[in-house]
Amino acid sequence: MIAALFYLQYHSTRNRLVSRFKRLKQPKYLFGAIVGGIYFYFYFFRYVFRGYTGGARQAIIPAASPEFMVLMESLAALALLVIVLLAWLIPHERAALTFTEAEVAFLFPAPVSRRNLIHFKLVRSQLRILFSALLLTLFSHRFGGNGWIHALGWWLILSTLSLHFLGSSFARTLLLDRGVSNRLRRLLVFVLAASVGAVVWLWAKKTLPPMTSADTADFTSFMNYAQQLLNAGPALYLLYPFHLLARPFFAPDAGTFLAALAPALLIFLLHYFWVVFSDVAFEEASVEASQKLATRIAAVRAGNWQAAGKKQKARRAWFKLAPTGPAATALLWKNLIGVGQIFSARLWIILVVVVAVVFTGFGGSAHAQNISIVAAIIIAILLGYSLLIGPQLLRLDFRQDLPRADVLKTFPLHGWQIALGEILAPVTVLAGFQWLLLLVGLSLTVYMPGKHETLMLAIGISAAVLLPALDFLMLLIPNAAVLLFPSWIQSGKDSPRGIEATGQRLIFAVGQLLVLLVALVPAALAFAAVYFPLKFAFGPVTPMPFASLAAAVIVAVEAGLGVRLLGRLFERFDVTEEPAS
Amino acid sequence: MIQVEGLTKLYGEFTAVNDLSFSIQPGEVVGLVGPNGAGKTTTLRCLAGIIPPTRGTVRVGGHDIVRDAIAAKKQLAFFTDEPRLFDYLTVWQHLNFVARIYQVADYEKIGATLLDELELANKKDALPGELSRGMKQKLAIACGLLHSPSVIYFDEPLTGLDPYGIRRMKDSILKRARDGAAIIISSHLLHLVEEICTRLLILKNGQKIADGTLLEITRKFSEQTGDASLEEIFFRATGEPGAPLAPPVLPLAPK
């Protein structure tokens, strides 16, 4: 029987890979694969192949000291402890092995034992684990160490954690069957964890010298203190099994690795027997989970990635939509309701309250000046990211609605009206977020050294005027791309995967940046044309908002032309061609 | 109400619809039938302005669906076999949205009546995810009928409906026709077509092979065999030359 399950897994994987290779015949995937391959080589693989032979070994950071590696091992053990604790604290469902609907339909009524189903699940999870181990190795290997040791170390850690998650879900189900509710279980685990934490804290208070400002003065001192805390007393015993599991990964050579391997493998095997010999009924919950999975996949394939995340709730509209008026407003209204699934009014209120509390809290602080400078820098970075990354993340436009393009096309609207309506919602949300950041940034000027309020105000107003127009422009580009190359652009979470998909994304990111730079040239000229004449009359600060307004007008005109173009693209878009996802 | 002249749709080298011409008057219910791949859905999509025809013209209420798309689309409604709804809009929000798109000023009154008729009044605040397949279909119908279209296309309208839903759908189609709407129904369910269509348009490989009333088509394809059912006519009309009247039935169990 197990041979049939292996057959299923082997051929599913093989066929998937073959179809991936076959699609490389299409130039768009081939170019994507080439660019993606180059990216992966320069980002990861060159550290594997280059300079690691012939004595020219050179990692990004110099070789770490043994003491540092011991500390890293302790921190890794602590991280594993936290992960394991969370696995007992957070989940609440009964044990469910994730099968597809087809697997449920074929395997559950078939004469396949429960243990064989678990084995099938374990074998299948190994594919994911091996791939994750490879990626993590490529990453961790950049910082030095032996690649094989890292790979095997990651595999051991990930496999054992995977078994632990499964085992804990079985234990959770057994507890539920015996009348121990999720709430009681969580309380017990929490009390246990808190008690152990208290013991460690008491021991540290009694044994270790109190933490002084010198301990937090620099990274090394802080790490030394952490070393003392984690490698002695009760923490050492508490973390011991986790040390055993993490140790092979941190082994500096093959000999040490082999010595560390046996205890780690023992932990792995204990987990394996725990899972395989647990007699827990998982079938019913698995059927339910497979149906949820199928619903999620269907939602994602229909372009509705929000529905894939969690059960949706009906949301109030952001404003009342009158039955007559500009039709594009209807699309804005609709998409804002969709946005409401992510950015609810409650979230905005919480944000404002948090900001207000933080302000009043640190207003009287002696460090207010330094903190305000750091906060201002963070806000500036966030603003930059929001402009560049925001349009990629807020996809409540054509990228979401493209699978329903046939519905949109039956509407008695011009293409530009649909394009405008589609883009307005992400622009609104993005501009709202940016204005909030600007408001916070401007408020910080109160605490800043020197008298820069006027300058900061001018910069803030300029940014507030310019950003929405720039957002609009930035959103036009991916929307045009999705209409021009629907199969190139991901339209949901169920995005194309693999090296070729990464390459495609890189190509478009570069393209987007180039288009933005070209579009900014006329805006920059308009800015200069207004700014420099006014500068002679009013000084360097006052003309800023006016020059920005001129630049924003140019960007808005460009965006308007872009909407026209986007509308035409939508009118010509053939819904029968290759779908977006 | 609907005039189609020389409609042709090509996908690269493949001809999905080839030189199709017909016209439909107000009050007519035309059944569009044909085997899989005959070009029925492509035809409906061209007629609804979803995809542009490669050649030919489609006029809806006198307006060209390509050149005067807005005026043409204002008059039509297209119901697909799978209801296409927005997952995050409630039932009433769907109606509100469609009202703004079609500028239906008194949508609240019309919408409430439609929801009552379709037994969705108690689901006003439900999301599509909370509705059954049949209810989703009803919501799509409510949205489509909100602006009182004079041209209606149905693509497999009975998919997923229970017997009550089927009966109501048939009644609804006939009522719209009586009110003067021109209706096209694409379906594989020949008994539905036989029951409610006043005319039949049979497609095969993108080409029209028969167009007329049920009686006319029966006469045309049953000259040699006498009276025949629509099913037999369908096989005769769409089968290969010299093919048997109906395809052989596969045995379920050995005799």
Q: Which residue has the higher pLDDT, A1 or A482?
A: A482
A410 vs B49: CB contact, 8 Å cut-off? Answer: yes
| Domain assignment of residue B53, given as a range | 2-75+149-238
Cβ contacts of A329 on chain B, cutoff 8 Å: 100
DSSP code at position A540: T
CATH number for the domain spanning B55: value is: 3.40.50.300
One domain, residues B113 and B225: no
Q: Best of B45, B50, B66, B108 to disrupt the A interface by mutation (most A CBs within 10 Å)?
A: B50
| pLDDT given for residue A57 in this prediction | 47
Question: Which among B42, B70, B93 is the nearest to A413, CB-wise?
Answer: B70
Residue B151 β-bridge partners: B76, B182
Phi, psi values for residue B105, rounded to 5°: -65, -40
Query: Does B79 touch chain A if contact means CB atoms closer than 8 Å?
Result: no
SS3 A262: helix
| Residues A170-218: tens digit of each pLDDT | 888 888 888 888 889 999 999 999 998 899 888 888 887 776 666 656 6
Segment B111-140 shows an average pLDDT of: 89
A330 vs B80: CB contact, 8 Å cut-off? Answer: no
Whether A291 shows a pLDDT value over 70: the answer reads no
* Total domains, chain B: 2
| Residues B25-71: tens digit of each pLDDT | 999 999 998 888 888 989 999 999 888 888 999 999 889 988 888 99
Question: Strands B29-33, B2-11: parallel, antiparallel or unpaired by DSSP?
Answer: unpaired
Q: Please state, for a pLDDT cut of 70, what percent of chain A lies above it.
A: 82
Segment B217-221 shows an average pLDDT of: 78
> What are the distances in angstroms from CA A421 to CA A78, A401, A474?
50, 11, 16
Cα separation, A39 vs A162, whole angstroms: 30
One domain, residues B142 and B156: no
Query: Does B99 touch chain A if contact means CB atoms closer than 8 Å?
Result: yes
DSSP code at position A252: S
Phi, psi values for residue A488, rounded to 5°: -85, -30
| pLDDT given for residue A267 in this prediction | 94
User: Is residue B43 assigned to a domain?
Assistant: yes
One domain, residues B201 and B230: yes
Whether A561 shows a pLDDT value over 60: the answer reads yes
- Sorting pLDDT into bands at 50, 70 and 90, what band is A37? confident
One domain, residues B129 and B163: no
For the record, the structure tokens of A414 come out as: 């011009």
| pLDDT given for residue A528 in this prediction | 92
Query: What per-residue string of b and e applies to B183-194 under the rule 16 or more CB within 10 Å gives b?
Result: bbbbbebbebbe
- ipTM score of the complex? 0.84
Whether A559 shows a pLDDT value over 80: the answer reads yes
Report helix angle A2-22 to A114-140, nearest 10: 40
Q: Give me the helices (H) in B130-162, please.
A: 133-145
Q: Please state, for a pLDDT cut of 70, what percent of chain B lies above it.
A: 91
Provide the terminal-to-terminal Cα distance of chain A, rounded to the nearest Å.
36
One domain, residues B153 and B231: yes
One domain, residues B60 and B114: no
One domain, residues B163 and B115: no
For the record, the structure tokens of B174 come out as: 């006939």
- Sorting pLDDT into bands at 50, 70 and 90, what band is A419? very high
- Lowest mean pLDDT segment, chosen from A150-154, A486-490, A506-510: A486-490
User: Is residue B121 assigned to a domain?
Assistant: yes
User: Is residue B176 assigned to a domain?
Assistant: yes
For the record, the structure tokens of A183 come out as: 């709430």
Cα separation, A310 vs A296, whole angstroms: 9
| pLDDT given for residue A173 in this prediction | 85
One domain, residues B192 and B221: yes
User: Is residue B244 assigned to a domain?
Assistant: no
Q: What are the E-state strand segments in B63-180?
A: 63-64, 76-79, 151-155
Q: In 3D, which of B186, B156, B153, B155 has the Cα closest to residue B73?
A: B153
> What are the distances in angstroms from CA A306 to CA A101, A103, A300, A340, A343?
21, 26, 8, 11, 12
Whether the model clears a pTM of 0.95, i.e. scores above it, the answer is: no
Amino acid (1-letter code) at residue A325:
G
One domain, residues B225 and B119: no
Cβ contacts of A413 on chain B, cutoff 8 Å: 70, 101
- Sorting pLDDT into bands at 50, 70 and 90, what band is A52? very low
A247 to chain B, minimum CA–CA distance in Å? 49
Cβ contacts of A336 on chain B, cutoff 8 Å: none
B45 vs A315: CB contact, 8 Å cut-off? Answer: no
Question: Which among A322, A338, A404 is the nearest to B84, CB-wise?
Answer: A404
Q: How many CB atoms lie within 10 A of CB B12?
A: 5
Segment B69-92 shows an average pLDDT of: 89
Q: Which of B100, B119, B146 finishes a domain?
A: B146
Cβ atoms A124, A8 nearer than 8 A: no
User: Is residue B165 assigned to a domain?
Assistant: yes
Query: Does B10 touch chain A if contact means CB atoms closer than 8 Å?
Result: no
One domain, residues B30 and B117: no
Segment A96-113 shows an average pLDDT of: 76
Whether A147 shows a pLDDT value over 90: the answer reads no
One domain, residues B102 and B188: no
| pLDDT given for residue A494 in this prediction | 46
- Sorting pLDDT into bands at 50, 70 and 90, what band is A54? very low
User: Is residue B248 assigned to a domain?
Assistant: no
Q: Identify the residue whose tokens are 């006003």.
A: B124
Q: Identify the residue whose tokens are 């030394």.
A: A224
Cβ atoms B201, B33 nearer than 8 A: yes
Segment A552-563 shows an average pLDDT of: 92
Angle, CA B2 vertex, CA B1 and CA B8 arms, to 5°? 170
Cα separation, A65 vs A76, whole angstroms: 16
Cβ contacts of B86 on chain A, cutoff 8 Å: 334, 338, 404
| Closest residue in chain A to residue B146, using alpha carbons only | A323
Cβ atoms B144, B77 nearer than 8 A: yes
Cα separation, A490 vs A478, whole angstroms: 10
Cα separation, B180 vs B24, whole angstroms: 11
For the record, the structure tokens of B237 come out as: 């009309």
Cβ atoms A63, A57 nearer than 8 A: no
Q: In 3D, which of A410, B229, A213 has the Cα closest to residue B245?
A: B229
Whether A309 shows a pLDDT value over 70: the answer reads no
Q: Which residue has the higher pLDDT, B117 or A313?
A: B117
User: Is residue B200 assigned to a domain?
Assistant: yes
| Residues A376-411: tens digit of each pLDDT | 888 889 998 888 888 888 888 888 888 888 899 999
Query: Does A414 touch chain B if contact means CB atoms closer than 8 Å?
Result: yes
Return left, alpha or beta for A300; rule: phi > 0 is left, psi -120 to 50 is alpha, else beta: alpha
One domain, residues B124 and B174: no
